[in-house]
Structures are given as structure tokens and as C-alpha cells.
């Protein structure tokens, strides 16, 4: 059962990291356009 929680937690962290990365890339491209 603990293994399931570890997987869920890892996927959550991965998803948040991907969101942050895409957010930063958007900001970066926006700054480059200015």
C-alpha cells in the first residue's frame, strides 16, 4: 500500500514540475519577444 502512495506522490511532483517548467518557458519566450 505504501508503494502506491509513493507512486502517486512522485506523479504529483512530476506534474507540478512540468507545469512550472512550461510556465517558465512561456515567460522566457514572452520576455524574448519584447
The grid coordinates listed for 13 are: 511532483
Q: Domain tally for the chain?
A: 1
Q: Quickly state the pLDDT bin for 32 (edges 50, 70, 90).
A: confident
Q: What is the pLDDT of residue 30?
A: 86
Global pTM value: 0.62
Question: Mind giving me the DSSP string for 1-34?
Answer: -HHHHHHHHHHHHHHHHHHHHHHHHHHHHHHHH-
Range of the domain at 28: 1-33
CA distance 8 to 29: 32
Return the C-alpha torsion angle 28, 29, 32, 34, nearest 10: -110
CA distance 26 to 22: 6
Amino acid at each position: 500500500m505504501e508503494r502506491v502512495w509513493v507512486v502517486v506522490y512522485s506523479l504529483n511532483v512530476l506534474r507540478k514540475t512540468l507545469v512550472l517548467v512550461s510556465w517558465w518557458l512561456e515567460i522566457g519566450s514572452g520576455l524574448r519577444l519584447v
